[in-house]
Amino acid sequence: MRVALIHDWLVGMRGGERCLEVLCEMFPDAEIFTGFYDPSRISDCITSHRVEVSNLGALPGVSKYYRYLLPLYPIAAASLSRAIRRRHTEAPYDLVISVSHCLAKNVRVPDSSVHVSYCLTPMRYIWDQFDSYFKGRRIEPLVRAFLPILRRWDTAGAKGVDHFIGISGFVAKRIKQVYARAAEVVYPPVRSDWIRCRASDDSASGFLCVSALVPYKNVDIIVEAFNRNGEALTVVGSGPEDLRLKRMAKSNIHFLEGLSDEALAALYRESRALVFAAEEDFGMTPVEMQAAGGPVICLGKGGALETVDGLGRNPSGLFFSEATAESIMAAVEDFKKRESEFSIEACVEKANSFSGEHFKEEFSKLLLREYLPDADFSGTQVAEYGQGRGGAHSASESGEYGGLVKNA
């Protein structure tokens, strides 16, 4: 098997990059193609592979401003398409896997290769969240002018994908809505080896919010809710909303940023519950909190409905229905009455269902049984993962890892 891996860009280690890491473990001889690359900020697991970068990636200091090059992303994708065809001529690729929320899936692969796209989400900033990313910014008029072109390019790129895999049922629905394509679901691997589970709930105090401080995360309504209920809240994160949130917060709310993994893991263990108010495509911080044995109070929309058990006899959290301060306050009061129902064991069990090994098993089963049933995987690590339990999730039904979320 000759395998190529495509990633939007490699300029830091967040959720998509951790998925790529696991794929690198599964395919140790794979070659990597990416739009932009800063090896100093990428793990050895990835940099040990051959990495080819788009022509835009050669621009001086581009890792500092690559996001503002959105109108030029089709050029980067075309550059990677040429690079893959060139390498394919030298030694053909049997399988190409793109880990994509943006340009990676739009790279054209040779007709003889099978293209599987592990879709983190359809590109939100050109479809349903343009205002959240660009409204009021100097680049807004330019990007808005290119929006119809980018949407046509993104839709056309989806047609070049042989098989879509979404990171959640919520994302599978978005793939269907945006690209009119069906998708299977394999939940992403959530690394939790850096998190030590709490020994008991007796010492837990205060509530926790871990998030990038950007508008769509709804941290402002969490702050408003805790301003009004007076409960202790620690907010971990940074971003453009930082100063506004600090100005509106009362003395019971504390802000932290730049924490080490060890310090963040300690906060997960020592807090009564994580409060999570974003409608995410998956949402890794709730999984991290549960890995520490702690419950989650979260908005009952998006990926959280899949990462948190809010119903049944062994819940790992509870949901609030609306992204409002009133809804959060009511959920916190409900949690305080029911706090004994959320056991450490239930939380950890839920978190364990998103392990790296589980991802390898589920992903490889799709490859072996559905997409490449006649392929020869001998000599590659993926073969040993095809015999595990369970199967890929049906798709009949939007990061962050470790302490790195605080710098998102």
DSSP labels, 207-218? EEEE---SGGG-
Percent of the chain with pLDDT over 90: 75
Distance from C-alpha of 78 to C-alpha of 199, rounded to nearest angstrom: 52
Q: Are 272 and 339 spatial neighbours (Cβ–Cβ below 8 Å)?
A: yes
User: Under CATH, which number does the domain 207-352 receive?
Assistant: 3.40.50.2000
Phi then psi for residue 17, to 5 deg, are: -65, -35
If pLDDT is split at 50, 70 and 90, which confidence band does 235 have? very high
d(CA 203, CA 180): 50
Residues 64-111 pLDDT 10s = 899 889 999 999 999 999 999 999 999 999 999 999 999 999 999 999
Q: Please, which residues have CB within 8 angstroms of residue 44's CB and are 6 or more apart in sequence?
A: none
Residue 139 is given by DSSP the state T
Whether 367 and 116 have beta carbons less than 8 Å apart is answered as: yes
The 8 Å CB, 24+ separation contacts for 140-143 are 142/71, 143/70, 143/71
The angle, 0 to 180 degrees and rounded to 10, between the axes of the packed helices 140-158 and 169-179 is: 90
CB 364 within 8 A of CB 386: yes
Beta bridge partners of 276: 298
**Would you call 363 helix, strand, or coil by DSSP?**
helix
Distances (CA, A) of 247 to 250, 251, 253: 8, 11, 11
Please tell me the pTM assigned to this model.
Answer: 0.84
Do 84 and 64 form a contact (C-beta atoms < 8 A)? no
Q: Is the pLDDT of residue 383 over 80?
A: no
Topology of 3-161+355-392 in CATH? Rossmann fold (3.40.50)
What does DSSP say about strands 51-53 and 95-100: parallel, antiparallel, or unpaired? unpaired
3 state DSSP class of 254:
strand
The mean pLDDT value for 363-391 works out to 59
Q: Copy the structure tokens of residue 335.
A: 């949690």
A 10 A CB-CB count for 193 gives 10
Q: What is the pLDDT of residue 143?
A: 86
State the amino acid at position 200 in one-letter form: S
Q: What is the dihedral of CA 74, 13, 118, 278, to 10 degrees?
A: -100
Residue 174, pLDDT > 50, answer yes
The H-assigned helical ranges of 116-218 are: 130-134, 140-158, 169-179
For the beta carbon of residue 321, count every other beta carbon within 10 angstroms.
Answer: 11
Strand order in the sheet with 163-166: 51-53, 31-34, 3-7, 95-100, 114-119, 163-166, 183-185
Say how far apart CA 384 and CA 97 lie, in whole Å: 19
Q: What is the pLDDT averaged over residues 303-323? A: 92
Find the range with the poorest average confidence among 124-128, 216-220, 275-279, 346-350. Answer: 124-128
| Across 15-34, average pLDDT | 94
CA 374, 375, 381, 385 dihedral sign is negative
User: Is the model's pLDDT at 404 over the cut of 90?
Assistant: no
Q: Please, which residues have CB within 8 angstroms of residue 129's CB and are 6 or more apart in sequence?
A: 216, 398
Under the banding of pLDDT at 50, 70 and 90, the label for residue 388 is very low
| Average pLDDT over the chain, rounded to an integer | 89
Query: Does the structure show a pLDDT above 70 at 393?
Result: no
pLDDT of residue 377: 55
Residues 139 and 67: their CA atoms lie apart, in Å, by 11
pLDDT of residue 395: 36
Residue 176 has pLDDT above 80, yes or no: yes
Residue 178, phi then psi, degrees to nearest 5: -85, -45
Query: Residue 378: pLDDT above 70?
Result: no
**Confidence at residue 403, expressed as pLDDT on a 0 to 100 scale:** 30
| Element housing 276 (H / E) | strand 273-276
H or E element at residue 97: strand 95-100
H-helix or E-strand containing 4? Answer: strand 3-7
User: Span 130-139, mean pLDDT?
Assistant: 79
Cα–Cα distance for residue pair 155/150, rounded to 1 Å: 9
pLDDT digits (tens, 9 = 90+) for 4-24: 999 999 998 888 899 999 999
Rounded (10°) angle between helices 325-338 and 219-229: 60
